Structure 1
Amino acid sequence: MGVSMRDVAAAASVSVGTVSNVLNAPDKVSPATVARVQAAIENLGFVRNDAARQLRAGRSRCVGLVVLDVGNPFFTDIARAAERAGGEHDLTVLLGTSDEDVTRETAYIDAFDEQRVFGLMVSPIGDDLERLDALRRRGMPIVLVDRDASGSPFDSVAVDDIAGGHLAAGHLCGLGHRRIAYVGGPPALRQVADRRRGAEDAIAAVPDATLEVIETPSLSVLAGREVGDRLQRRRPTDRPDAVFCANDLVAMGVLQSFTMLGGTVRVPDDIALIGYDDIDFARSAVVPLSSIRQPTRRIGSTAVELLVAAAADSPQRHTPNNPVFQPELVARASTLGAP
């Protein structure tokens, strides 16, 4: 049987209440008593029972973070930033990936709810937020990540993806490209739809420019490689002269297809290529990849700050906060050519 708080109290010659104060509110205890209790904890090997404490408090010090794809460095960077920010508030971030699957997303949300987490940060797949709204009304702090929820009862942190899509397509048009393809999917993802909308707005401003939409089942390297293979099988006159991918993983797949042994397309001489997110791999690709940069660290840390602020309010009194950051164009050799 493990060492209990009662054992620590006996060893330190204090009450159980004093041990509890040392663990949870040490400022209420004299420094000498704190030192004596901490010495007893160390000597006995006492480990705090957070599960029991969580049941008494009704909420743990853990935060659930559900992202679309933990294999995407964009979400990995957000998670790392959230972990650092959470540590400043004595919060531990638990990470789950939905893999763009609604069933998995729901399972993670339910599991975190059963664990009575401090709050939830979710990058939702679709627009059905009923389950999250039920948790919010019940008092669970909720922050939507990489999703602008302005006008809703949710806190959120996002990047203006319409502006980002406009930047990418506008960059390609500005370089003289007119047959542009937008590659990404599934289209139900808000990020995919918004980036496409921004590209369409930019293309509409150029009279002789056209936009071909090529949907993919996922935002993965493999999906991009399959698109690249299909484009190479077209006649050169039937190909786009530039490709805008909904994220860098898809763009990396397209680039791999073009540059692998037997590839017939040169980047950017035959087809210019731009991605989205500016992950670390983008700048180190065989042809450095142009991309639209998102402030991942600010997204992760801001999500935690919003969650902590929401936890301090009641659901009825809380006013949602919905910061939207602006993306940035990073132009490299895949659109500009060799320096």
Structure 2
Amino acid sequence: MTSTMQQVAVRASVSPATVSKFLNTPHRVAPQTGQRIAQAIEELGYVRNDAARQLRAGSSTTIGLLAFDVGNPFFVDLARRVEGYAASRGLSVLLANSDGSNERERGYLELFEQQRVHGVLVSPIGDVERQLERLHQRGIRAVIIDKQVRPDLNSSVSIDDVQGGYTAAAHLLSRGCRRLMFVGGPTGLRQADDRLAGARRAVADREGVTIETVDVPDRSIDAGRAIGERILLRPPADRPDGVFAMNDQLAFGLLQTLVVEGRVKVPDEIAVIGYDDIDFASAAVVPLSSIRQPRADFARTAVELLEAEPGGDPRQVVLEPELVVRESTRVR
């Protein structure tokens, strides 16, 4: 049987109000009294109903974080950092994964609305404007991460992916690459489109430079391996001499196939650069050059925007990516 606050109070010989005070502001309860209450809670197995408490108070201490691909280590690390910044403000984080599904995305946003969370951080895959407007009407703030949706209504924090794509391609060109390949997708995904646009801008005015695109719906290591196998089927003279993968996972798969199975010399024959600079980039079969997203700044800014004073105008913060050069593109 579930124990009640009244039972805890009786066991600890205090009033229910004192138990409530201990649960919400323990520093306001005398240490000896707090010890009795804590012991009673442990003996009875009492678990307070935070949902009911929040409904009565009209507020919540939970943030909903909706990512579109937690299979990407970038989002895992981002969630960890968001959790740290949120905890410093007395907030907890509920992580959800839309996994690229519009239906799952809508379902999780409805769940967050029903739970009356404190706020929502969302990296949208589909059209969520109507749901975000409904959240806004209910007093639930939303901050868009990695995209801009309704800048008149919601704040956002994103990366300048056009600049990131330009920097990646320009780096390959600087080391002498002339036959570039962009591996990413799917077409229509904002991050993929922007990174490709930046890469194309870098080669636009370069005589004798080409860039081909390989659209992949799955941005995984396995997908990268498959692209590597396709490259190996070509005669060496028809292969790209520089590959820009839209994330590090694709780049890892490419490296594994090219280096281990194809015995291609990286970067001498084919240079490879990824995007995100996840923790494993430096430990790849050939340490991977990458475009680093400032995850700490990203997470801190997202939480700060969510916690901004009510009534202020929404803010759109765009962070700059950074080139990290390792062995996969380094000139020897």
| TM-score of the two chains, using structure 1 as the length reference | 0.89
CA contact (8 A) 1:82 1:304 kept: yes
Q: Distance in 2 between matches of 1:247 and 1:9?
A: 55
Identify the residue that residue 320 of structure 1 maps to in structure 2.
314
Identify the residue that residue 87 of structure 2 maps to in structure 1.
87
Amino acid at match of 1:69: D
Structure 2 matches for 1:145-164, cutoff 5 A? Answer: 145-148=145-148, 151-164=151-164
Q: Deviations over 1:162-203 (max 9, x none)?
A: 111111011111112121111100122211111111111111
Q: Distance in 1 between matches of 2:236 and 2:213?
A: 18
Aligned length: 332
For the structure 1 residues 64 and 320, does the alpha-carbon distance in structure 2 shift closer, same or farther, using more than 3 Å as the test?
Answer: same
Moved more, 274-283 or 121-130: 121-130
Instruction: For residue 61 of structure 1, report the CA deviation from its aligned partner.
Output: 2.2
CA contact (8 A) 1:126 1:189 kept: no
Structure 2 matches for 1:134-153, cutoff 5 A? Answer: 134-148=134-148, 151-153=151-153
Instruction: For residue 75 of structure 1, report the CA deviation from its aligned partner.
Output: 0.7
For the structure 1 residues 212 and 91, does the alpha-carbon distance in structure 2 shift closer, same or farther, using more than 3 Å as the test?
Answer: same
Q: Look up the SS of the partner of 1:260 in the other structure.
A: helix
| 1:330 and 2:324 aligned | yes
Q: Deviations over 1:88-134 (max 9, x none)?
A: 12222121222222222222222222222222111111455332232
For the structure 1 residues 150 and 264, does the alpha-carbon distance in structure 2 shift closer, same or farther, using more than 3 Å as the test?
Answer: farther
Moved more, 142-151 or 238-247: 142-151
CA contact (8 A) 1:165 1:196 kept: yes
Q: Deviations over 1:125-165 (max 9, x none)?
A: 14553322322232211111222458442121222111111
Q: Distance in 2 between matches of 1:330 and 1:127?
A: 33
Q: Which ranges in structure 1 are unaligned for 5 or more consecutive residues?
A: none
CA contact (8 A) 1:122 1:144 kept: yes
CA contact (8 A) 1:184 1:246 kept: yes
Q: Distance in 2 between matches of 1:333 and 1:29?
A: 59
CA contact (8 A) 1:81 1:298 kept: no
Identify the residue that residue 285 of structure 1 maps to in structure 2.
284
Identify the residue that residue 269 of structure 2 maps to in structure 1.
270
Amino acid at match of 1:319: D
| 1:246 and 2:246 aligned | yes
Identical columns (%): 50
Q: Deviations over 1:46-84 (max 9, x none)?
A: 322213213323443222111122121111110110111
Taking CA–CA contacts closer than 8 Å with sequence separation of 6 or more, which of the two structures ends up with the larger relative contact order? 1
Structure 2 matches for 1:80-119, cutoff 5 A? Answer: 80-119=80-119
Instruction: For residue 37 of structure 1, report the CA deviation from its aligned partner.
Output: 4.3
Q: RMSD of aligned C-alpha atoms?
A: 2.3
Identify the residue that residue 307 of structure 2 maps to in structure 1.
308
Q: Deviations over 1:262-299 (max 9, x none)?
A: x1533212211110011122111111111001111222
Q: Look up the SS of the partner of 2:316 in the other structure.
A: coil
Identify the residue that residue 206 of structure 1 maps to in structure 2.
206
Structure 2 matches for 1:185-224, cutoff 5 A? Answer: 185-224=185-224
CA contact (8 A) 1:220 1:250 kept: yes
Q: Distance in 1 between matches of 2:293 and 2:228?
A: 25
| TM-score of the two chains, using structure 2 as the length reference | 0.91
Structure 2 matches for 1:42-81, cutoff 5 A? Answer: 42=42, 44-81=44-81
For the structure 1 residues 94 and 128, does the alpha-carbon distance in structure 2 shift closer, same or farther, using more than 3 Å as the test?
Answer: closer
Q: Distance in 2 between matches of 1:207 and 1:131?
A: 48
Identify the residue that residue 296 of structure 1 maps to in structure 2.
295
Moved more, 129-138 or 249-258: 129-138
Q: Distance in 2 between matches of 1:150 and 1:44?
A: 49
Q: Look up the SS of the partner of 1:75 in the other structure.
A: helix
Q: Distance in 1 between matches of 2:208 and 2:150?
A: 35
CA contact (8 A) 1:173 1:206 kept: no
Q: Distance in 2 between matches of 1:206 and 1:149?
A: 35
Identify the residue that residue 165 of structure 2 maps to in structure 1.
165
Instruction: For residue 30 of structure 1, report the CA deviation from its aligned partner.
Output: 6.0
Instruction: For residue 320 of structure 1, report the CA deviation from its aligned partner.
Output: 1.4
Q: Distance in 2 between matches of 1:249 and 1:40?
A: 50
Amino acid at match of 1:336: R
CA contact (8 A) 2:277 2:293 kept: yes
CA contact (8 A) 1:126 1:190 kept: no
Moved more, 245-254 or 219-228: 219-228
Q: Distance in 2 between matches of 1:151 and 1:108?
A: 22
CA contact (8 A) 2:106 2:128 kept: no
Identify the residue that residue 259 of structure 1 maps to in structure 2.
259
Q: Which ranges in structure 2 are unaligned for 5 or more consecutive residues?
A: none
Instruction: For residue 236 of structure 1, report the CA deviation from its aligned partner.
Output: 2.4
